[in-house]
A and B are shown apart, each in its own frame.
Chain A
Amino acid sequence: MNKNKFKNLFKRKIVVLDGAMGTELQKRGMPVGVCPEIWCLENPHVIEEIHGEYVQSGADVVYTCTFGANRLKLGQYNVSNVVEMNRELALLARRAVGKKGLVAGDMGPTGQFIEPFGDLGFEEAIGIFKEQVQGFIEGGVDLFAVETMMDIQEARAALIAVREMTDMFTIVTMTYEKDGRTLNGTDPVTALITLQSLGADAVGCNCSTGPEEMVPLIAAMKPYATVPLVAKPNAGIPELIGNSTVFTMGAKEFAAYSMEFISRGVNVVGGCCGTTPDHIRELKETVAGKKPMAPVRKSVSAVCSSRKTVVFEKDRPLRIIGERINPTGKKTLQEELLQGRLSRVRQLAREQEKAGADLLDVNVSVSGIDEEKKMKEVINTLATSSTVPLVIDSANSNAIEAALRVYPGRALINSITGEKKKIENLIPVAAKYGAMFILLPLTDRGVPETADERKEIIRSVYDKARLYGFTKDDIIVDGLVMTVASNPEAPMETMKTVEWSSRYFKCNTLLGLTNISFGMPQRKWLNGAYLAMAVERGLTVAIANPGEEEFMNVKAASDLLSNRDKDAFIYLKRFAGVPQGERRDASRKGEVPIDEIYHAIIEGNREDIESVLERAVKEEESAEKLVNDCMIPAITKVGKLFDSKEYFLPQLIASAEAMKRGLAYLDPYLRKAQSEQRQKGCILIATVKGDVHDIGKNIVALMLNNQGFDVVDLGKDVSAEVIIEEARRTHPDIIALSALMTTTMVNMKKIIDTVRQEGLGCSFMVGGAVVTASYAEEIKAAYARDGVEAVRVAELLARKARGE
């Protein structure tokens, strides 16, 4: 059956799919733990009976029993003839239903994690699904079903596998959790837009929940769907009875939900786990004669990451594409990309996202770099570390294709021009992966100066794109900003292009705004004014640095004044009220320095402690007095707040760091005054051999240092020999040991026994995740639960050593 026949079928009626397979096989004798596909081939009458019953119950489509018939899962049962097995199971389904039903070649997850979470390569996953597709084609299926996908990237791999082998009708359904997202965090609208733009002919959800929970998912998808929607729920939420999972929803109750599905726009219904031929019979009777709701739109102007969708519409606030992931003129970024490090890329992504970027432009073009490889690497990194959709920015067509292939969402290409090669190379690629693109109106002859010339190019590129199925929703026209410094006519020609594209050509528009002020002083004013002018003319997207406050302020004002910011929500959010933290600073004005020092330590204010101490010293406060009468009481108070749980660990550490910084500032003054009061004793501290984690030990060292102990920190994974050697050299008053594991804890005893034998005469203090007070007692050491207690214990041991 070709695609048009399918489309007509969906227009005419609600299409009914079959119900559960696994539970039906078990009911008919399949033992637990066997490979269902092998068992079906060994017991063909059983699977034929199930397929037949579903068709007799009214199912228009049955799924082949090939959910796990991929190389990885079959490999666990030592089966290697994957193509043959899928073909045989497809033939079996065909034989069972004859001409009374359609057969869908069914593919489930591979069972392994695809990169970047797992080590299964994306291309390898595509190859695995292609084997199944080959078997289905040989077995004569009518359509394909990719189902129970929890990872959008795996769903993409399966869909690409189908699309690279055949144009046949393909249904893709994802599995959503109770929170309405897949396990990987993809919401239904994002999955829908990603999959329908990649070429899925019907999209929806199956498994996981019962019909009641699935209705809102269909309702959320319908406004954005250009394809029929599918719901294949379980027979309710499973209940655990004894050791068995039981689906309790009866056939009538299950079928009753179909009316709600239809009212929300579903086109295809069926059943998943726990459903039976009875459920499908009831379903068929309920939906018979009901007219399906056609997709409400033919295209959608939206891009998405794996977790977020951004829709472009003229009456919505201006969208900002963060421009900073671009190595041009950025030496640090260039070096990092060349060295293979991506921390700066992630930092730029994080900063821009926080500053309000709706999308991130990604350009990795550096001289001497393998751009195709680097682009893939950066896209894979940002796909997991950032939630906003990406804009693939490159002059290299291969790099763009590589990025689109691995990107787990719908991307925006920056850009396709009227240049012959660009059109030839990139439009088919954009079409294959369903990407949107920025249309940049220039040609092989260069940049046209007037708006009229640009309009011609826009029309011409669009006409070529239409041949590949693109609509005006799929493109964003770049008005092409030239600097006012070189041509005073240029700004208005660009404005005319934006206005014409937006109001007459009726597509979304974009400007790389900051080019306008290149070469001019005080650029922010030109950028801001130009932005306001463009918003008034219908601009939908700007490429800019969202970290520029003035620019983002003008954006907020322009959105409000052009009625894109309904109820002034965004404007008020941006400007209303001063954060509490800033008010606090104001309220402290006029405090005497000693109070400010006290509060700086209580509040962990590491930024201001030095300047406040500087003021205090200038006012001739003695350093010693500041430490003893102000800082020590403050940090002691912090310890009490921590003990009473009013503070938690980060606050304790912030205060301790403020204290440390303060003491370092006062150190020269204390030395000058020859103060010796601070030296409470020497502590040798280490995390024992075998333990490689030492943050707890670092906290204790910081706290002890602040309280006037001279701390010698030997680090982590320190052997007994090194600790003993250091003890001989430094003669500490206390040796403090930390251990994280029971297996390494035993090293504490070894060290303590050896030091005692040598008669070094010091005390011992131990702590760490697995160390208990009773173990400490057993090895004759003092025990401290945390940093605050360590200070108290150390002071007690030091006093004892001094004979106090």
Chain B
Amino acid sequence: MGYRNGVTRIEEERKREIEDAIEYARSLIHLTGAAVRIPIEEIGQFNIVLSKGIVFNSRGLARMLKGCAEALLMGATAGKEIMEAIDNDSKTNRLTRGVILDAVASEMVDDSLDWIADYFNGQLRRENRRLTKRRFSAGYGDFLLENQKIMYDVLELGTLGVELTESFMLVPQKSVTAVAGIMG
């Protein structure tokens, strides 16, 4: 959004408008998520074999998962309603609010992956284990977007109302998936 602390100055009226839009966004966003722990069977230089016959081809992901016995696949969505509101605002001369709704949805859905990671770390602590700090998403580096199909199927994102397009995009658009490793 281009906000720079100490440089960007926002007049009171605009601040109120932004705060109202954030509140509005929060009332429209219905975060739902899913996560699955899957044992890692083999990590090669360029690929990772998980149990249930799941294979990811990615050197970057293989590097991140090195030394991990399990992987955590996670996904979350902000829901349909916020996207309808963003579309509607864009079409009805309320683009200012639409832009804020869009940004809030992006932040919240990303935060929900952090929440899932914290949730699992809370449980892994009892096993003296923890998640890798980094996580990989389909479309990042050499972990191709096509892998979104595997993520979608394993996480059963369809049950959360998420669809996958032919070009491997998640709909609603404010939906994300990621892979992290379980260390220890």
A692–B171 touching, CB < 8 Å: yes
- Inter-chain contacts of B13 with A (CB < 8 A): 581, 584, 603, 605
* Known contacts A350-B27, A581-B13, A690-B169, A245 near B4 by CB under 8 Å: no
Contact with B along A5-49 (1 / 0, CB 8 A): 000000000000000111100100000110010000000000000
Contacts of B86 in A (CB 8 A): 695
Q: Are B165 and A650 in contact (CB under 8 A)?
A: no
Give 1 or 0 for each of A676-691: 1 = CB within 8 Å of chain B CB: 0000000000000111
A contact residues around B81 at 8 Å (CB): 343
A649-B122 contact, Cβ under 8 Å, with A243-B67, A692-B173 = no
Pick the contact of B30: A116, A148, A150, A694 (CB < 8 A): A116
Q: How large is the interface on B (under 10, 10 to 19, 20 to 34, 35 or more residues)?
A: 35 or more
The smallest beta-carbon distance between A645 and chain B, in angstroms, is 4
Interface string of B145-168 (1 = CB under 8 A from A): 100000000001001100001111
Q: 8 Å CB contacts to A: which residues of B53-89?
A: 67, 69-70, 81, 86
CA distance A581 to B18 in the complex (A): 14
B134 within 8 Å of A (CB atoms): no
Task: Report the minimal beta-carbon distance from B170 to chain A, rounded to whole angstroms.
Answer: 9
Q: Is B135 an interface residue (CB 8 A)?
A: no
Determine the chain B residues whose CB is within 8 A of the CB of A650 once the complex forms. Answer: 1, 14, 17-18, 21, 96, 99-100
CB distance from A699 to the nearest CB of B (A): 7
Which of B21, B125, B126, B167 touches A743 (beta carbons < 8 Å)?
Answer: B167
CA distance A108 to B123 in the complex (A): 9
Give the docked Cα–Cα distance between A652 and B100 (Å).
12
Does B69 lie within 8 Å of A741, measured CB to CB?
no
Q: Is A238 located at the chain interface by the 8 A CB criterion?
A: yes
> For residue A26, which residues in chain B have a CB less than 8 angstroms away from its CB?
128
A698 x B169 contact (CB < 8 A): no
Q: Within 8 Å CB of A381, what residues of B?
A: 30
Interface assignment of A571: CB less than 8 Å from any CB of chain B:
no
A699 touches B99 (CB 8 A): yes
Write out, one digit per residue, whether chain A residues 371-391 have a CB within 8 A of any chain B CB (1) or not (0). Answer: 000000000010011100000
**Contact in complex: A76, B37 (CB < 8 Å):** yes
Looking at the assembled complex, report how far the CB atom of B79 sits from the nearest CB atom of chain A, in whole angstroms: 10
Contact B9 A646 (CB under 8 A): yes
Given known A350-B24, A741-B145, contact A654–B90 (CB-CB < 8 A)? no
Q: Which residues from A are CB-within-8-Å of B115? A: 183
Residue of B4, B13, B35 ringed by the most chain A CB atoms within 10 A: B13
Residue of B nearest to A341 (CB): B81
Q: Is the CB of A245 within 8 A of B130?
A: yes
Q: Does the CB pair B32–A651 fall under 8 Å?
A: no
Let me know if B23 and A245 touch, CB within 8 A: no
The answer on a CB contact under 8 Å between B126 and A238 is no
Interface 0/1 of B116-135, CB less than 8 Å to A: 00110011011111100000
A183 touches B125 (CB 8 A): no
* Contact status of A604 and B96, CB under 8 A, knowing A245-B125, A654-B17: yes
Q: Kindly provide the distance from the CB of B116 to the nearest chain A CB, expressed in whole angstroms.
A: 8
Cα distance A581–B145 in the bound complex, in angstroms: 47
Which A residues, 591 to 614, have Cβ-Cβ distances below 8 Å to chain B?
Answer: 603-606
A530 within 8 A of B: no
Q: Is B14 within 8 A of A580, CB to CB?
A: no
Quick one: closest B residue to A120, CB to CB?
A: B34
Complex Cα spacing A579 to B17, Å: 13
Structural contact, B165 and A33, CB atoms closer than 8 A:
no
The A338-356 residues at the B interface (CB cut-off 8 A) are: 343, 346-347, 349-350, 354
| Chain B nearest CB, measured from A499 CB (Å) | 39
Cross-interface CB contact of B139 among A148, A653, A741, cutoff 8 Å: A741
Q: Is the CB of B126 within 8 A of A175?
A: no
Complex Cα spacing A652 to B99, Å? 11
Which chain B residue shows the least CB distance to A747? B167
A299 touches B (CB below 8 Å): no
The reply to whether B95 and A33 contact each other, CB–CB distance below 8 Å, is: no
In the assembled complex, how far is the CB of residue A388 from the closest CB belonging to chain B, in whole angstroms?
13
A639-673 Cβ-contact flags toward B at 8 Å (1 or 0): 00010111111111110110011000000000000
Question: How many of A's residues come within 8 Å of B, CB to CB?
Answer: 81
0/1 string, A260-284, CB within 8 A of B gives 1? 0000000000000100000000000
A22 touches B126 (CB 8 A): yes
Chain A residue with the shortest CB-CB distance to B165: A692
How many residue-residue contacts, CB under 8 A, span A and B? Answer: 190
Known: A238-B125, A698-B95. A32 touches B69 (CB 8 A): yes
Contacting residues, chain B, for A691 (C-beta < 8 A): 167, 169
CB distance from B173 to the nearest CB of A (A): 5
B102 touches A661 (CB 8 A): no
Q: Is the CB of A150 within 8 A of B119?
A: yes
Q: Is the CB of B8 within 8 A of A648?
A: yes
Closest residue of chain B to A208 (Cβ to Cβ) is B122
**Which residue of chain B lies nearest to A698 when distances are taken between CB atoms in the complex?**
B90
Would B168 and A183 count as touching, CB distance under 8 A? no
CB proximity to B under 8 Å, residues A604-636: 604-606
A654 & B165 in contact (Cβ 8 Å cutoff) = no
Q: Judge whether A207 is part of the interface by a CB distance below 8 angstroms.
A: yes
Q: Mark B36-59, 1 if CB is under 8 A from A, else 0.
A: 010100000000000000000000
What are the residues of chain A within 8 A of B166 when measuring CB–CB? 690
Contacts of A207 in B (CB 8 A): 122, 125-126
Residue pair B93, A119 in contact (C-beta under 8 Å): no
Q: Is the C-beta of A500 less than 8 angstroms from some C-beta in chain B? A: no
Most chain-B CB neighbours within 10 Å: which of A76, A119, A386, A605? Answer: A119
Inter-chain contact B14/A603, CB cutoff 8 Å = yes
> Nearest chain-B residue to A690 (Cβ)?
B167
Tell me how far the C-beta of A158 lies from the nearest C-beta in chain B, rounded to whole angstroms: 15
B125 touches A645 (CB 8 A): no
Q: Is the CB of B27 within 8 A of A346?
A: yes
- From the candidates B31, B94, B128, B130, name the one contacting A22 in the complex (CB within 8 A): B128
**Inter-chain contact B123/A109, CB cutoff 8 Å:** yes
- Most chain B Cβ neighbours within 10 Å, of A21, A386, A654, A786: A654
Whole-angstrom distance from the CB of A186 to the nearest CB of chain B?
13
Instruction: Report Cα–Cα, A21/B81, bound state, in Å.
Output: 45
> When chains A and B are docked, how far (Å) is the Cα of A636 from the Cα of B98?
22
Q: Which of A108, A645, A741 contacts B2 (CB 8 A)?
A: A645
B178 within 8 A of A: no
- Inter-chain contacts of A329 with B (CB < 8 A): none
- List, in ascending order, chain A residues with CB within 8 A of B127's CB: 22, 32, 36
CB proximity to A under 8 Å, residues B10-32: 10-14, 16-18, 21, 23-24, 26-28, 30-32
**17 new A-B pairs (CB below 8 Å) besides A347-B27, A741-B169, A743-B139?**
A21-B126, A118-B33, A177-B118, A183-B118, A243-B184, A384-B30, A580-B11, A581-B11, A642-B2, A648-B1, A653-B95, A692-B165, A695-B86, A698-B90, A702-B95, A742-B139, A742-B145
Q: Which 10 A-B pairs have the closest CB atoms?
A: A690-B167, A580-B12, A581-B13, A648-B3, A581-B12, A645-B4, A648-B2, A649-B1, A653-B96, A654-B96
Query: Which of A's residues lie within 8 Å of B, judged by CB?
Result: 20-23, 26, 32-33, 36, 67, 76, 108-109, 111, 113, 116-119, 148, 150, 175, 177, 183, 207-208, 234, 238, 240, 243-245, 273, 343, 346-347, 349-350, 354, 381, 384-386, 579-581, 584, 603-606, 642, 644-654, 656-657, 660-661, 689-695, 698-699, 702, 741-744, 786
- Can you name 10 A-B residue pairings with CB atoms under 8 Å? A113-B35, A183-B119, A207-B126, A346-B27, A581-B11, A653-B99, A656-B95, A657-B94, A699-B95, A702-B95
